[in-house]
Amino acid sequence: MKTQLDRAREGEITREMREAAEYDDVSPEFIREGIAKGHIVINGNPQRKSRVVGIGKGLRTKINASIGTSPDIINIDMEVEKAQVAEKYGADTLMELSTGGDLDKIRRTVLDAVDLTVGNVPLYQAAMETIHKKGSVVHMDANFLFDTIEKQAEDGIGFMAIHCGINLITLERLRKQGYRFGGLVSRGGSFLTAWMNHNKKENPLYEQIDRLIDIMKKYDVILSLGNGLRAGAVHDSTDRAQIQELIINSEIAEYAQKKGVQIIVEGPGHIPIDEIEANVIIQKRLSNDAPFYMLGPITTDVAPGYDHISAAIGAALSSRYGADFICYVTPPEHLALPTPDDVREGVMAAKVAVHVGDMVKLKDKVKNQDLKMGIARRDLDWKTQYETAITSDRAQQIRNSRPPLEDDTCTMCGSVCSLKGVREYYEDDLKDSRKKSVLTAL
């Protein structure tokens, strides 16, 4: 079948392209051209209709929320609730990453529960089912892995994180640099590393890349080239193993695009803030401006319980420097499986972060929202403040929990509100200001 990439290159504007254009308030031609160049991706899997968003250059930075069971906590109802909370609070996509329970049932239940485009890591299911049947992931059969990928594509998965860039060369870099301070933190990366070292064989996802690309093309699934050697500690950031994997992934990205498959390149995990810009530049340069999916990016290792804040700092800078897609982080990162409340906090932290970055990356297209908020605050226009805020529910909840004596103030200042106290002296200036605002809008 023809993929969205094939059709974009032929000059066709599809329904999905129009939907993505409307979501970002850009022209359908902008989306088509970006897809044709490999700079933008959209969900095209016809097996499941979902909300389509564009991810890539010139668009708002998108947020992914990840959910999923673990071997310790298996509760399908909770995972559905987490998925719906993520959608309600503004996640652009969802990843279903379960590793415990009936993985087919969980995936299909979540797919039915939300309208978001859903991604996953098919290696998780292949690995976990192998462990249950054969005792260890090292006994995983390559054919079973590819069959699992196709089964999940048939279910309607829109994008898949697949670890093609971990090959024998990458592992040699890891060995020669003396392993890592933070070890290997990617589940997919650790599964494949164990499999390759035990069997003394090449990664089948790399060795049989054409077989993988054929499945991706058949279902128009976005191939998200997984960052299996991402850093799990800031002192491992931008090391030789990570860069080697990025080189391999960038080569695969170019090859897959030539075959008509849409791709995303992932990276880098834990990273100090002074390396974020360099990582974005390197990824964009090596992959010919392919969409960049930032995992984390967690900027310090010493804030367990508040990693969503650490990641939000990194996400804001990543967005500002040109990253296209951010994977949220929740407060219990490194500590426990997230609850629905944790999912909400993770989504909102990421949402604020990417807005901060997009204010610089996309300038007035995003900053005008802040201008509107500034004017509403000056005018003590609470209705407009709530309508403008990306955190509206929380803002109203806090103010209503501590109601002021005067309706147009809040209990922080009450009757000594600074805005209210001097406004009468600037009435003429306010009229001129409103005139200028109207003229600017026109």
Residue 201 reports pLDDT greater than 70: yes
Confidence at 1, pLDDT banded by 50, 70, 90: confident
Q: Output 376 or 437, whichever has higher pLDDT.
A: 376
Decide if 394 contacts 348 (C-beta within 8 A): yes
Find the farthest-apart pair of alpha carbons in the chain and give their distance in angstroms, rounded: 79
Residue 421 reports pLDDT greater than 90: no
SS3 letters across the chain: CCCHHHHHHCCCCCHHHHHHHHHHCCCHHHHHHHHHHCCEECCCCCCCCCECCCEECCCCCEEEEEECCCCCCCCHHHHHHHHHHHHHCCCCEEEECCCCCCHHHHHHHHHHHCCEEEEECHHHHHHHHHHHHHCCHHHCCHHHHHHHHHHHHHHCCCEEEECCCCCHHHHHHHHHCCCCCCCCCCHHHHHHHHHHHHHCCCCHHHHCHHHHHHHHHHHCCEEEECCCCCECCHHHCCCHHHHHHHHHHHHHHHHHHHCCCCEEEEEEEECCHHHHHHHHHHHHHHCCCCCEEEEEEECCCCCCCCHHHHHHHHHHHHHHHCCCEEECCCCCCCCCCCCHHHHHHHHHHHHHHHHHHHHHHCCHHHHHHHHHHHHHHHCCCHHHHHHHCCCHHHHHHHHHHCCCCCCCCCCCCHHHCHHHHHHHHHHHHHHHHHHHHHHHHC
Pairing of strands 55-56, 40-41: antiparallel
Token pair of 320 as six digits: 């500002």
Confidence at 430, pLDDT banded by 50, 70, 90: confident
Of 130, 76, 65, nearest to 98 (Cα)? 76
CA distance 258 to 5: 10
Close Cβ partners of 6 (under 8 Å, ≥ 6 residues apart) = 260
Decide if 23 contacts 63 (C-beta within 8 A): no
Counted residue by residue, the chain has a size of 442
Identify the CATH number of the domain defined by range 4-362: 3.20.20.540
Residue 425 reports pLDDT greater than 80: yes
Mean pLDDT for the chain?
96
Which residue type, as a one-letter code, is found at position 146?
Answer: F
Confidence at 429, pLDDT banded by 50, 70, 90: confident
CA distance 149 to 188: 14
CA distance 107 to 105: 6
CA distance 201 to 254: 25
pLDDT, tens digit, for every residue of 137-193? 999 999 999 999 999 999 999 999 999 999 999 999 999 999 999 999 999 999 999
Close Cβ partners of 313 (under 8 Å, ≥ 6 residues apart) = 273, 299, 353
pLDDT, tens digit, for every residue of 316-365? 999 999 999 999 999 999 999 999 999 999 999 999 999 999 999 999 99
Close Cβ partners of 135 (under 8 Å, ≥ 6 residues apart) = none
Decide if 24 contacts 57 (C-beta within 8 A): no
Report the pLDDT averaged over residues 244-255. 98
Residue 281 reports pLDDT greater than 90: yes
Report the pLDDT averaged over residues 109-125. 98
* Domain ranges, ordered by start, for the chain: 4-362, 365-441
Decide if 230 contacts 185 (C-beta within 8 A): yes
Residue 441 reports pLDDT greater than 60: no
CA 379 from chain center: how many Å? 36
CA distance 235 to 55: 30
Confidence at 442, pLDDT banded by 50, 70, 90: very low
- Going from the C-alpha of 29 to that of each of 37, 40, 73, 263, 287, the distances in angstroms are 12, 12, 46, 20, 23
Q: Residue 347: what pLDDT? A: 98
Q: Residue 439: what pLDDT? A: 42
Q: Residue 298: what pLDDT? A: 98
Q: Residue 435: what pLDDT? A: 53
Instruction: Give me the percent of the chain exceeding a pLDDT of 90.
Output: 94
Q: Residue 423: what pLDDT? A: 83
Sign of CA dihedral 214, 194, 187, 311: negative
